[in-house]
Amino acid sequence: MRDKRGFTLIELIVVLGLASIVISVVMSFFIANFKSYEAINTESEAQYQSQYIINFMTDKILGAESFEGHTGSVFKFKNPDGKEITFEGAGKRVRYRHGTDAPVLIGNYVKALNIESSGAGEITITLILENGNKEYAAKQIVYMRNSSN
């Protein structure tokens, strides 16, 4: 009588083949999910940054008295207390400065920032963010409360 406790070489090869097929199917599923998660995370980060920057700028512009214009990527407003507030969109970042205080970073991934005055205290903020290969655009119209126009 033969001893039948072990596996034959053919059985081991078949099991390894089936296991590799199952593992490759499972791995392709995980890779697809990871890529999807990464894309959603990238877009969501851009949306978060955009919302934060727009809200911060809106809050500061609402209290401003006048839009003093811009030089390059530096946009200037005047507060009722006489201090100047500036927003600078350069180097993929937006910075805020109040008077002579040190600039404060308020957002990243900024591809373009534009602020325009349409008269009567109306300010239009246009913001384009780029994170990876995804772009996200936001636009906000703000009316300055303390405007003399």
Amino acid in the structure at residue 114: N
Residue 40 lies in a domain: yes
Average pLDDT over residues 35-42: 89
Q: 87 near 71, Cβ under 8 Å?
A: no
Closest alpha carbon to 94 in 67, 127, 141: 127
Band (109; pLDDT cuts 50, 70, 90): very high
What mean pLDDT is reported for the chain?
Answer: 91
Residue 89 lies in a domain: yes
Average pLDDT over residues 125-139: 91
Query: Domain total for the chain?
Result: 1
Residue 4 lies in a domain: no
Looking at the predicted structure, is the pLDDT value of residue 136 above 80? yes
**In which domain, by residue range, is 38 found?**
10-143
Looking at the predicted structure, is the pLDDT value of residue 1 above 60? no
Residue 2 lies in a domain: no
Residue 100 lies in a domain: yes
Residue 1 lies in a domain: no
Looking at the predicted structure, is the pLDDT value of residue 122 above 80? yes
Looking at the predicted structure, is the pLDDT value of residue 114 above 90? yes
pLDDT for 32: 93
pLDDT for 6: 78
Question: What residues contact 74, with CB distance under 8 A and at least 6 apart?
Answer: 86, 87, 88
Distance between CA atoms of residues 83 and 68, nearest Å: 12
Average pLDDT over residues 24-45: 91
* pLDDT over 90 percentage in the chain: 74
pLDDT in tens, 47-97: 999 999 999 999 999 999 999 999 999 999 999 999 999 999 999 999 999
Residue 3 lies in a domain: no
b/e burial code for range 73-101 (CB count within 10 A of at least 16 → b): bebbbbbeeeeebbbbbeeebbbbbeeee
Residue 31 lies in a domain: yes
